[in-house]
Structure 1
Amino acid sequence: MFTKEEYADYKDFCERYTPECPENFNFAFDVLDAKDPKAPALIHVDDDYNRRELDFGFFQESSSRLANALVSQGVKKGDRVMLILYRRLEYWVVMLALHRIGAVPIPSPSLLTKKDIRERVNYAGISTMICEDSIVERVDQARPDCPGLNLLIQVEGEAGNGWLDYGELLASGGPSFPRTPDSPGGGDPLVIFFSSGTTGLAKMVLHNHKYAASHYTTGALWHDLEEGDVHLTVSDTGWGKSVWGKFYGQWMAGAVIFVWDFRGKFHPGDLLQVMADNKITTFCAPPTIYRFLVREDLSQYDLSSLRFCTTAGELLNDSVFHAWQKGVGMPIYEGYGQTETTLQVATFKFMEPRPGSIGKPVPGWDIALMDEEGNKVPQGEEGEICINIESPVLGLFDNYMDEPEKTACVKCRGWYHTGDKAWADEDGYLWFMGRTDDLIKSSGYRIGPFEVESALVAHEAVIEAAVTGLPDEVRGQLVKATVVLAPGYVGDEKLTKQLQAFVRELTAPYKYPRVIDYVDELPKTISGKIKRKEIREADLARLAN
């Protein structure tokens, strides 16, 4: 179904490669079930370094059993199901089972608070929750305010209080779930990802079943995967990057997915040792991870099996690129996309990687850089990355679920507007500039300032707050808050720690402001809107001095 070819250069690639998707494509039926049941599929190493090797037969049978069991519990095509499963094997089984049924998974990060869970469950109309035991308490706290949540499934631990045991449920289902004429596929909903925005609650990004097929480009060509490769992408299963690097494209390319389900604080030396012990051949991680890795003595780890490395999620520092190349003897190939897309710009193995450039447009993505009036900008000038949607684009999201107005704001006049800015050099390489809005990228996470600001002003000491990104060598950006205090409060170190702890209680822990400045007033427009851009520019000027 998917055949990899070799390309001489970028021009040859564009002339001969066209992303394609079979009619009525469903990844579970068309890819998983077509695999040799005895062929290796996934290697899983848990937090205690216990290693399991799983073949495709395991996922074929387990996903069929679970699909049958879920149907018996009333789960049906179109139902929305939230998953919070870390990097557990059950994540892959659940996703595949839901693909068979046509229910729509909503993978979610483990750091969600009870407030996050309550808001997302109600906002998305989620009817089923599948999570591991460590998340159950937070869900139980949110349940009284989630009247539509009626099926609860717990992975591991002793299930009670209305929760069904995953293992018992799995065992109750039959081992075969055949395709039928009304099985999902093609343009039917496949998956929803929550995408952080700058204001209000995160948007629900809906992709259809063709989205999975579009990731063949990601796995086979950008990751350069070949039959038998052992591929590791560092990503939580609650984010879109997980299906970029730990799922569809890797199996379509014939690779074995490697998963390290580490918990707690990340230690770069542990990751390097895992890569060495398990003979990882291809590796993808956000620049933040590479920043930590190059600070280690790379010569102490046997990375001789490693042959290809990629990165995405934020800008890669030149110094990190060169340090990695010096330490392991190979460059890092960058790529760019969004939750709303698959890989749309990249540097491939047949191209010269230019540190700091995200590469060139991928075939199938007709990209232009445009100004605010919708005109294409000249070479060398900054413009918004826009995608021509006059014809269907394989891998582009359908819509923001249940929000046609928000969809219409970005899909208009024949173009999808990414909200990201870049400029092109004389050879057609794109150089990413940043968001046109105020989204913050820190350690691979995308953080909207509105939620953090809302948490801050909920504290009695804070009158107003503006949250921006502050450049940082390790995390890419730090979350910074500029705060106006209420009378009687002093902006000292004690208060800063109190505010940081307060925000951590109300939002996911990674969103708290690591830097807090205290000011008498915030810069605002005539209409009263906070001028975050002015704050960012002042910070950059101060850092330059």
Structure 2
Amino acid sequence: MRNINERYVTEAFDEEGQLTQFDIKTPADFNFAYDVVDDIAVADPDRRAMVWCNPEGEEHVFTFADMKRWSDKTANFLADCGIGRGDFVMVILRRHYQFWFVMLALQKLGAVAVPATFMLKEHDLTYRLQGADIKAIIATSAGDIADTVDAVVAECPSVEALILVNPAGAGLTPQAADGTWLLPEDEPAGPALSGPAGICAAPAVRAGWRDFNSEVRAASAAFARRETAAADPMLMYFSSGTSGNPKMVLHDSGYALAHLITAKHWHNVRPDGLHFTIADTGWGKAVWGKFFGQWLMEAAVLTYDFDRYNPADILDLIGRYGVTTLCCPPTMYRMMTEVNVDEFDLASLEYCTTAGEALNPDLFDFWREHTGLTIYEGFGQTETPLTVGNLTNSTPRPGSMGKPVPLYDMRILREDGTECDTGETGEICIGINPHPAGIMMEYYRNPEKTAEAMHDGWYHTGDTAWRDEEGNY
């Protein structure tokens, strides 16, 4: 174990073991792919990075050495596609393991990853491609997103490369009435892909698109480190706004390091554990729980590449793979109450967290009654990592999302900028003088919206809360 996280953070704790200081140090040339993943790959190559499976029965265990090898091959392929430093690349890959290869490869190239959901409609996709001058699209062949791309790409002249990934499954393989998978004899899928020879084994043939799997398998695994800077744009998400077009939320490499607070002190991951966050990779929550912080802690993640959420399947996976820490939104926990939770082996589970919506106190109580575990709630946005949370060694108050994390100076402010009294509702604001790690760089190409959100020394989240006598939000 490398204790890599300790290179980038200064911490302090009180006598009860609660975190009181958490300061991020971001080296000028920090690059998550090189300085975290490749570092572990060289020094501790057999350390488990990801356990990946799908409903069809395919399963792979990737070490950090595997992640380095496949991301290096992917970087060489993407470079051959003309992708380099500063290019914006849309990534629509569900929960396929190729997502991780791509994200690491784009960081190695200094390109900007733009993850997106496979549920985009034509007008949604057109807005995104034109708004960010997307240079390449890497999309799944599962579902109909490739059809959507083909329908609009002629209107988006910035797009120079279309790259298709065949997942050979993703829970979309047809099933017979008895539940057996209907696998074509001439097409690898499901368990037929299991084993080292099966990585990226299924080709994708579509006019106008390059075949990711075949070309990555053929690419060289030798890739030399390229010059990148921590202050460069690294990742961009389209926020899910309540009105108008979504804003483009731009992050630099400090965002990756800031997720140490998410994984270490909220998810409570440990290097020999297995963390399971269920989010799809099209949403920011995926890198909260399936990527940055967990690998900074040298912990493995479980990824289940499914199509439709089934609570029984998720509960079964916990026991089958020995999941130690779990994070999913309250809605998913609530659906788990509709099956007999007591029938599943949850003995390995040590810690549970939730975010995305308010946690109902009844659900909080149900989970503790049936598993013996507390659900630790947290809060953050596409623009941030975890900013408020019930951290380790705290005692959650049902109905509260916790206290501000010590990485940020956070206040609840009135419209006139003065601080609210205890019990008074106001806007959650985060100090940005100096600009802390993890808070977005800007709303890309939207200086007016950026100025609305960032002014007078504060990032205005637009979300409201009130504070109780103990400091809980």
TM-score class, shorter-chain normalisation, is 0.7 to 0.9
After superposition, give the CA deviation of every residue in 1:261-309 in whole Å (9 maximum; x if it has no partner).
111x322111111112111110000111111112321110010000000
Q: What is the rounded CA distance, in whole Å, between the counterparts of 1:332 and 1:12 in structure 2?
A: 17
Q: Give the one of 202, 205, 216 matched to 2:249.
A: 205
> Which region of structure 1 is more displaced relative to structure 2, 77-86 or 159-168?
159-168
Q: What amino acid is aligned across from residue 40 of structure 1 in structure 2?
A: R
Give 1:355 shift.
Answer: 1.2
Instruction: Please give the secondary structure, in 2, of the residue aligned with 1:31.
Output: helix
Check the 8 A contact 2:204/2:213 in 1, yes or no. no
Rg comparison, structure with higher value: 1
In 2, the alpha carbon distance for the partners of 1:363 and 1:145 equals: 46
What's the counterpart of residue 145 of structure 1? 155
- Mapped contact 1:82–1:106 kept (Cα < 8 A): yes
1:177 is matched with 223
After superposition, the C-alpha distances for 1:124-149 in whole angstroms (9 at most, x for unaligned) are: 11110001113211111112222221
Matched, 1:240 2:245: no
Contact 2:18 2:392 (8 Å CA) reproduced: no
Q: What 5-or-longer segments of structure 2 have no aligned partner? A: 167-202
What do residues 28-47 of structure 1 show as CA deviations (whole Å, max 9, x unaligned)?
A: 01001111222111000112
> Which of 413, 430, 442 is residue 370 of structure 1 equivalent to?
413
Note the alpha carbon deviations across 1:334-391, whole angstroms, 9 max, x for none. 1111000111111012110111111111112100101111111111111100011111
Q: Which residue of 1 aligns with 2:211?
A: 165
What SS does the aligned partner of 1:60 have? Answer: helix
Match of 2:36 among 27, 31, 36: 31
Whether 2:422 is the aligned partner of 1:379: answer: yes
Residues 187 and 10 (structure 1), Cα distance of their counterparts in 2 relative to 1, 3 Å cut: farther
In 2, Cα distance between the equivalents of 1:45 and 1:174? Answer: 26
Kept in 2, the 8 Å contact 1:20–1:214? The answer is no
**1:51 maps to 2:59:** yes
Distance 1:345 1:200 in 2: 27
Q: Which residue of 1 aligns with 2:71?
A: 63
| In 2, Cα distance between equivalents of 1:11 and 1:379 | 26
Report Cα offsets for 1:410-436 as digits up to 9, x if no partner.
Answer: 101111100000011100011xxxxxx
What corresponds to 2:19 in structure 1?
A: 13
* 1:9–1:350 CA contact under 8 A, matched in 2: no
Name the SS for the 1:206 alignment partner: strand
The CA deviation string for residues 132-167 of structure 1, in whole angstroms up to 9 with x for no partner, is 113211111112222221101011153231100102
**What SS class does the counterpart of residue 215 from structure 2 fall into?**
helix
Q: Which amino acid aligns with 2:429?
A: C
Paired letter, 1:282? T
Over the matched positions of the two proteins, sequence identity in percent amounts to 40
Q: How far off is 1:172 after superposition? A: 3.9
Alpha-carbon separation, structure 2, partners of 1:136 and 1:401? 26
Spell out, residue by residue over 1:456-492, the C-alpha distance to the aligned partner (whole angstroms, 9 max, x if none).
xxxxxxxxxxxxxxxxxxxxxxxxxxxxxxxxxxxxx
Q: Distance in 1 between matches of 2:461 and 2:205?
A: 43
For 1:306, the equivalent position in structure 2 comes to 349
1:2 paired residue number: 5
1:54–1:6 distance in 2 versus 1, CA, 3 Å: farther
Equivalent residue, structure 2, for 1:418: 461
Corresponding position: 1:113 with 2:118: no
Query: Would you say the 8 A contact 2:88–2:132 is kept in 1?
Result: yes
**CA apart distance, 1:9:** 5.9
Residue 81 of structure 2 corresponds to residue 73 of structure 1:
yes
Q: How far 1:226 moved relative to its partner?
A: 1.0
Give the alignment partner of residue 284 of structure 1, picking from 318, 327, 341.
327
The one-letter code of the counterpart of 1:385 is I
Separation in structure 2 between the aligned mates of residue 350 and residue 298 of structure 1, nearest angstrom: 26
Change (3 A) 1:171 1:27: same
Deviations 1:2-28 (CA, angstroms, capped at 9, x unpaired): 1397945678521x4323333321000
Distance in 2 between the 1:396 and 1:164 partners? 35
Write the deviation string for residues 89-145 of structure 1: whole angstroms up to 9, x where unpaired.
000000000000011111001111122212211111111000111321111111222
One-letter code aligned to 2:461: T
Picking from 259, 267, 275, the partner of 2:303 is 259
> Residue 116 of structure 1 aligns to a residue in which SS?
helix
Measure, in 2, the Cα distance between the counterparts of 1:49 and 1:324.
29
Q: Is it true that 1:22 corresponds to 2:27 in the alignment? A: yes
Aligned to 2:255, the other structure's residue is in SS state helix
- Equivalent residue of 2:334, what SS? helix
Q: Offset of 1:58 from its aligned partner?
A: 1.2
Contact 1:210 1:395 (8 Å CA) reproduced: yes
Deviation digits for residues 420-453 of structure 1 (CA, Å, limit 9, x no counterpart):
00011100011xxxxxxxxxxxxxxxxxxxxxxx
1:144-543 superposed matches below 5 A? 144-156=154-166, 157-180=203-226, 183-263=227-307, 265-430=308-473
Maintained 8 Å contact 2:18/2:393: no
Match of 1:101 in 2: 109
Per the normalisation by structure 1, the TM-score is 0.76
Q: Contact between 2:112 and 2:233, CA under 8 Å: does it hold in 1?
A: yes
CA RMSD between the two structures: 1.6
**Residues 368 and 229 of structure 1, relative CA distance in 2, 3 Å threshold:** same
Structure 1 letter corresponding to 2:209 = W
SS at match of 1:239: coil
Quick check: 1:136 aligned with 2:146?
Answer: yes
AA aligned to 2:395 is E
After TM superposition, give the deviation of residue 170 of structure 1 in Å.
Answer: 0.9
- For the residues of structure 1 that align with 2:241 and 2:160, how far apart are their CA atoms? 28
CA distance, structure 1, for counterparts of residue 433 and residue 17 of structure 2:
23
TM-score, normalisation: structure 2: 0.87
Looking at structure 1, the residues matched to 232 and 347 of structure 2 have their Cα atoms a distance apart, in angstroms, of 43
